[in-house]
A and B are shown apart, each in its own frame.
Chain A
Amino acid sequence: MEKLKFERPVINRISAGVPDKFGMGTSIQPISHIDDVAVQDLLEKYGSPLFVISEKTIRKTYKEALSAFKTRYPKVQFAWSYKTNYINAVCKVFHQEGSWAEVVSGFEYAKAIANGVPGNKIIFNGPDKSREDLKLAIENGTLIHIDHFDELYDIMAIAPTVGKVAKVAIRINMDTGIYPQWDRFGFNFENGEAWSAINKIMPDENMELLGLHTHIGTYITTPVAYSVATSKLAALAVRIELKYKHNIKYIDLGGGFASKNTLKGAYLPGSDTCPSFDDYAEAITSALNNSDIQYEHMPTLFLETGRALIDDAGYILGTVLANKRLVDGRRSLIIDIGVNNLFTSFWYEHHIVPSRIKQRDTEDTTIYGPLCMNIDVIRAAVQFPVLEKGDQVVIKRVGAYNMTQWMQFITYRPKVVMIDLQGNTHVIRENETHETMNSMDRIPGYLLDFKL
């Protein structure tokens, strides 16, 4: 007689709490394939853990965003936010789609140039631009977004020595009715600081004010804040036209659109609560169309959206290392994906699922990473099926910030693989090895030998 299929014995306490009024299910849908490539095959071929980028999703998301804006306003230009994910292959996909580059350091600037982006199609943001960075940016006709007065004075001093007019914009911070109000970047709108900066730039023949820029915050779930920001920038553009007979060429609303990830402490999942590209586009373009800017001088709308364009395209795959019971009886699962690779787990309740399910029972589980550090928690509490050592897990929506903010800590950073439109896989970044890490260390001669 054939033996019966065994299921692990489970006993669960029934908690008589108030049922969730939204009727959210706890059912877990495994992810066995990404763009028709099997998770198991990817891990076997490239090792675990592994970042995977779906080129198809990048292009699809980009087209959605572009279409949301272009159908409402004719002149739209996206600039890829390098800091969100500056793996060259990822940047190149965005550039192929027509995105310019938006960088915030000399390092990112060099990356964009090396990727083949023309200097005059790079937006240079951020508070840290060295005099050498500024000189190069002026030479290349890059759009320099001035962050503070010291930078403004640097440009005033450097531009005449280069012999080229510096193409500049100013970054402006403002009250858009949301909390927290970002005020650390750029010049303030309400207290007249931005107007004062404009009054310094306009008379200077070595600078040409092309644009006005703001970036109101991050993970903004209130599109109306973008309406307020757009109206304020448009009002400033009108004031410049009145005083200087000068028309601003572009208005840059920065980024900050929320992705579909769920923030810690949120009552409902981000996929249900986050605004769509259409919501943001409607808010921004309505404010522009309704502004007092003369019709023939309507500026180009620049957008530096990062998170919302790339988060969905990124996955991290990993493997279960062990199961454990905590003192209070809770189950804990140790996987080989830690906070060193998944920096965003500090603020997101990441969506984690197994690659396949053998058993439907779920238990309240704490999921830990592999690091010998107490902070290494991927999910503090999640209803999760019981997996065995060696089983595989998939975490969705990790394309933004993880492949730039990851830490080389305790262990090596993994490979990044891209699945192209035909379903072929390409390593787009190699994993670190002992040699990679050691190649940067230097040991003084007197420390070479020791006896134990």
Chain B
Amino acid sequence: MIKIKKDIAVSETGFLFDPNTGESFNLNKTGQIIFKQLAEGKSQSDILKSVLENYDIEDHVFHRYLDEFLMMLRQFNLIEKEED
């Protein structure tokens, strides 16, 4: 399970600040929704379920997007630790 660093601040408009590094980021609307759920400790399958319920997107396409989004979070060092 993916855990987002706990001291990261996200505004309502998707502006994200990492006090550990001083770096800031922008999230788009979908990015915000997913990030929020990750920060709340939801699992990937929970996220998948809620997105598929509400959005017009195919399962396998969303998987690809989610994988890539998570890869970018890792790249930007926004993830605390990952548990199997």
Contact = CB atoms under 8 A, between A and B. Distances in A.
A289 B24 CA distance: 62
Nearest to A329: B75
B66 interface: yes
Nearest to B26: A12
Nearest to A360: B28
Contacts of A7: 28-30
A10 B71 contact: no
Given A4-B54, A4-B56, A6-B56, A11 B30 contact: no
In terms of DSSP, what is the predominant structure of the interface of chain B?
Answer: helix
How large, as a class, is the contact surface on chain B?
Answer: 20 to 34
Contacts of B72: 11, 329
A11 B8 CA distance: 14
A325 B55 contact: no
B31 interface: yes
Interface residues of A, number: 15
A5 B24 CA distance: 27
Given A3-B56, A8-B65, A325-B71, A14 B25 contact: yes
Contact of A11 (B25, B33, B55): B25
Contact of B28 (A3, A14, A329, A361): A361
A14 B71 CA distance: 17
Interface in B32-84: 33-35, 51, 54-57, 62, 65-66, 68-69, 71-73, 75-76
Interface of B: 16, 23-31, 33-35, 51, 54-57, 62, 65-66, 68-69, 71-73, 75-76
Interface of A: 3-14, 325, 329, 361
30 contacts: A3-B54, A4-B55, A4-B56, A5-B55, A6-B30, A6-B62, A7-B29, A7-B30, A9-B28, A9-B30, A9-B33, A9-B65, A9-B69, A10-B26, A10-B27, A10-B30, A10-B69, A11-B25, A11-B27, A11-B31, A11-B73, A11-B76, A12-B25, A12-B26, A13-B24, A13-B25, A14-B23, A14-B24, A329-B75, A361-B28
